[in-house]
Chains A and B, each alone.
Chain A
Amino acid sequence: MSKEVPTNTTTAWAASYEEEPSQASVPPQANGVTALKPLGWAPVNWAKANLFNTPLNTALTVLCLAILWFTVPPMVNWLLLNAVWSGSSEACREAAGACWSIIAVKHRLIFFGTYPYEEQWRPFLACGLFVAMLGISGVRAFWRPALSVAWALVLIAMGVLMWGGILGLTYVANDRWGGLPITLMLSVFAIALAFPLSILLALGRQSSLPAIRTFCIGFIELMRGVPLVSVLFMASVMFPLFLPEGVTVDKLLRALAGLTLFTAAYLAEAVRGGLQAIPKGQYEAADALGLSYWQKTRLIVLPQALRIVIPPIVNQFISCFKDTSLVTIVGLYDLLTAATVATTDPEWRPYFAEVYVFAGMIFWLFCFSMSRYSQWLERLANRYTRR
């Protein structure tokens, strides 16, 4: 988890620390440089001021240009110019570039895994609804109670689409689900379920009752101390052994439980940060008003604390989204697993790189837009707190 900061424009003073790694040998320079007078063509002036203002900056600019020169043309050639876009694997063997035909042939396996082929419009529609809903939830104008109703409706619609069994849709058990729907649902439900749990854990960690406090600290540190892979493994493999004979729990649900508990431990620490940021006077004022613990928590503490922790929550969501790629260890067909399975076909095995690039781009698209969004949220939060 990282702490995001607003993307402020570079300030002048910061420039003097750009040589920090080699501070001993290179004297700082930007401080003493006077701005060049704007003469002549504007782009040239801009370049002079931003790229070639000091010898060191000139050297760095040249280095960057050199790296671009050696990497970009071969990449463009491989990705686009020499690439094969459709056709058989034979056509690919001749070509020098990427073989995107494998995506053309396998994209439905990658996106939807083992979901029945004829019915794959259903997960497609469900994913579309889901992403649209995520987008709408990000807009401030829609932050009102009706949104939760809309979410409930969309989730019901998704459930109907994915499972079927009514409205003339054939029933599809969730062991056939795979690909993008699994990745999306695991991450969103994990974060949604982890959120209330994390508030309880964070409050418990601050509690004055030693048994509760110890339990919460123990749980948080345990979860944060072990790799997610082992948590998933325990949840998926060991959990059935804990249950009485004859009782089983769905595999998807078990992985979700593991992911939720893991995420909750991390979120709890973020929420604790928010709780600690509230001035002591607020607690004292609430006590003076005679509010009970829960009134105080609900009316005074949480509304202030949670606003602070919205950006870390989005960051945790990004982590969670990427972490779903680990559920392959418990045999779930997430996007990345489905992508690797697509490369097991002997006919297409040489073109694994294309599949990885494709999967990487999908992940990047989701994570990047969310990380941009979290930065915007942070600026919004800062606008409230800075008066």
Chain B
Amino acid sequence: MKTRLSALAIAATLSVSALALSGTAQAGATFDGVKQKGYVQCGVNLGLYGFSAPDDKGKWSGLDVDVCRAVAAAMFGDAEKVKYTPLSAQQRLPALQSGEIDILARNTTRTLTRDTANGLNFAPTNYYDGQGFMVSAKLGLKSAKQLNGATVCVLPGTTTEQNVADFFRANKMTFKPVVIEKNEELHKAFFSGRCDALTSDASQLAAIRAAETPNPNDYVILPELISKEPLSPAIRQGDEEWANLVTWAFYAMVQAEEKGITSESVDSAMTSPDPDVKRLLGVTAGNGKALGVEENWAFNVIKQVGNYGQSYERNVGTGSKLKMPRGQNALYTEGGMMYAPPLK
């Protein structure tokens, strides 16, 4: 009679597998899948202020979050139709590969390996960055090439660890890394003097210096930028329709800034005589049909999320606590690299 145990064990195994299979079904193609379920599943950082973090009221906001909101606005006419999946650095690629999320907007650097071997596609870069060093002014350093033998605080996750190692190897210098997963812990370690230098994206360094030191002049940012960090939203390979929508929803924000259309002025812009604006806002039909969404898709994006400049200033720029300058992320007309191909 002991054998009934095995029957029970089988039953348990089967019920576990049944439980596993009782999840929500999802269509194969991402575009149709998203349309069917009625919201965009967006992978974000657990908490990176300015890019994606919940505010005091638990509402997600940030530059990366705005990409997801723009896609939702383009698809559904409602920027709120986004569900956020906070992801740790290790989780993010598998989460996208496995289909758990539809977009990964989590400060991810676009690289060849990720574009190929890891099975990702990248949307246009929504934040251009480069890795630099910050050191205490007391050390009197003028160049990163004087850092031989230094201890360097590194945030893992993007490609930072490799970049620092490359830089020191190229200049025949040595260093000791201290790699800590959480931004706050890392900054604490640096400001308490655990490391001689903090390496991170250069714009971040300025913001960190402004926000976290009593006297920002105590720290200097060395002039060398040791890497290119084009932070881009990523999507799975194999769904061109979805890739197009994500790409052009972002470009619409850039184009709107170029044309001077803000979320406040977009209503009056509907009557603009400019053919480009007419096409952008769907007054002249065509773009929406090509993308497979409503013709007023870009209107919704601009109305609900704002143009790229608005998003930038609100989340990381002068309107935020980070107060980062536009720098490389200004429009190409103002010396930056933000450039939208023609929306026609």
A interface, CB within 8 angstroms of B: 93, 105-106, 108-109, 112-117, 120, 173, 175-176, 178, 197, 200, 203-204, 207-209, 211-212, 215, 233, 236-241, 243, 245-251, 292-294, 328-333, 337, 340-341, 343-347, 349-350, 352
By Cβ-Cβ distance, the 3 closest A-B pairs, closest first, are A346-B211, A240-B98, A341-B47
Please state if A203 and B5 are interface contacts (CB–CB under 8 Å): yes
A108: chain B residues at CB < 8 Å are: 56-58
Give the complex CA separation of A236 and B27 in angstroms: 21
How would residues 53 to 70 of chain B score, 1 for a CB under 8 Å from any chain A CB and 0 otherwise? 111111110000000000
Q: A247-B25, A349-B184 are in contact. List 5 more A-B contacts (CB 8 A).
A: A117-B58, A207-B5, A241-B97, A330-B91, A331-B86
SS of A interface (majority): helix
On whether the beta carbons of A349 and B211 are closer than 8 Å, the reply is yes
Instruction: Provide the residues of chain B in CB contact with A120, threshold 8 Å.
Output: 58
CB pair B83 A173 closer than 8 Å: yes
Q: Contact at B5–A212, with CB atoms within 8 Å? A: yes
How near does chain B come to A226, taking the closest CB pair, in angstroms? Answer: 16
Which residues of chain A have C-beta atoms less than 8 A from B5's C-beta? 200, 203-204, 207, 209, 212, 293
**Interface size bracket, B side:** 35 or more
Establish whether residues A331 and B58, one from each chain, have CB atoms under 8 Å apart when the complex forms.
no
User: Are B183 and A204 within 8 A (Cβ)?
Assistant: no
Known: A175-B83, A333-B86. A341 touches B188 (CB 8 A): no
Given A237-B95, A248-B23, verify A341-B84 contact (CB < 8 Å): no
Q: Which A residues lie within 8 Å of B58 (CB)?
A: 108-109, 112-117, 120, 176, 178
Beyond A112-B58, A240-B99, A331-B91, is A212–B83 a contact (Cβ under 8 Å)?
no
In the complex formed, the residue of B with least CB distance to A355 is B184
A114 contacts B59, C-beta separation under 8 Å: yes
Q: For the complex formed, measure the closest distance between the CB of A238 and the CB atoms of chain B, giving whole angstroms.
A: 7
Q: Cα distance A120–B187 when bound, in Å?
A: 32
A-B contact count (CB 8 A): 154
Q: Indicate whether B117 reaches chain A with its CB closer than 8 angstroms.
A: no
The complex places the Cα of A143 from the Cα of B239 at a distance, in Å, of: 57
Q: Which of B18-68 contact A (CB under 8 A)?
A: 20-28, 46-49, 53-60
Q: Are A344 and B49 in contact (CB under 8 A)?
A: yes
Structural contact, B23 and A247, CB atoms closer than 8 A: yes
Question: Contact check: which of A203, A245, A341, A346 meets B207 at CB < 8 Å?
Answer: A346
Q: Is the CB of B9 within 8 A of A347?
A: no
**In the complex, are the beta carbons of A328 and B88 less than 8 A apart?**
yes
For this complex, 10 residue pairs linking A to B, each with C-beta atoms less than 8 Å apart, are A93-B214, A114-B84, A117-B59, A209-B3, A237-B95, A240-B98, A241-B98, A345-B49, A346-B207, A350-B212
Q: Out of A197, A249, A332, A346, which one reaches B321, CB within 8 Å?
A: A346
Decide if A114 touches B54 in the complex (CB within 8 Å). yes
The 8 Å CB contact of B23, one of A109, A208, A209, A249, is A249
If A114-B84, A240-B99 touch, whether A250 touches B211 (CB-CB below 8 Å) is: no
B148 to chain A, nearest CB (A): 31
A204 touches B9 (CB 8 A): yes
Contacts of A293 in B (CB 8 A): 1-2, 4-5
A106 x B85 contact (CB < 8 A): no
CB contacts (< 8 Å) of B55 on chain A: these are 109
Please tell me if the beta carbons of B85 and A331 are within 8 angstroms of each other in the complex. yes
Q: Is B269 an interface residue (CB 8 A)?
A: no
Residue contact A294 to B4, C-beta cutoff 8 Å: yes
**B8 within 8 Å of A (CB atoms):** yes
Residue of B nearest to A119 (CB): B58
Does any Cβ of A come within 8 Å of B6's Cβ? yes
Interface flags for B207-224 (1: CB within 8 Å of A; 0: not) read 100011010000000000
Q: Could you tell me if A330 and B321 are in contact, using CB atoms closer than 8 angstroms?
A: no
Complex Cα spacing A249 to B188, Å: 37
A142 to B3, CA, bound (A): 37
B84: chain A residues at CB < 8 Å are: 114, 175
Which residues of the other chain, B, contact A245 by a CB distance below 8 angstroms? 28, 99
A238-B94 contact, Cβ under 8 Å, with A108-B56, A200-B9, A328-B88: yes
When chains A and B are docked, how far (Å) is the Cα of A138 from the Cα of B187? Answer: 44
Residue of A nearest to B43 (CB): A331
Bound CA–CA A340/B185 (angstroms): 10
Q: Are B59 and A352 in contact (CB under 8 A)?
A: no
In the assembly, what is the distance between CA of A93 and CA of B212, in Å?
12
Residue interface bits B84-116, CB-to-A below 8 A is 1, else 0: 111110110011011110000000000000000
Please give, as numbers and ranges, the residues of chain B lying within 8 Å of A349 by CB-CB distance. 184, 187, 211-212
Are A251's CB and B183's CB within 8 A?
no
B214 contacts across to A, CB distance below 8 A:
93
Complex CA–CA separation, A246 to B29 (angstroms): 9
Q: Which residues of A contact B20 (CB under 8 A)?
A: 239, 243, 249
Residues of B within 8 A of A337 (CB): 46-47
B2 and A207 within 8 A (CB): yes
Given contacts A341-B46, A349-B184, A197 and B12 within 8 Å (CB-CB): yes
- Asked if A246 meets B100 with Cβ closer than 8 Å, knowing A109-B56, A212-B6, A344-B48, the reply is no
Contacts of A333 in B (CB 8 A): 46, 86
Q: Which of A209, A215, A349 has the most CB of B within 10 A?
A: A349
What residues of chain A lie closer than 8 Å to B8, measured between beta carbons? 200
Q: Which of B4, B48, B100, B321 has the most CB of A within 10 A?
A: B100
Query: B259 contacts which chain A residues (CB < 8 A)?
Result: none
B142 within 8 A of A: no
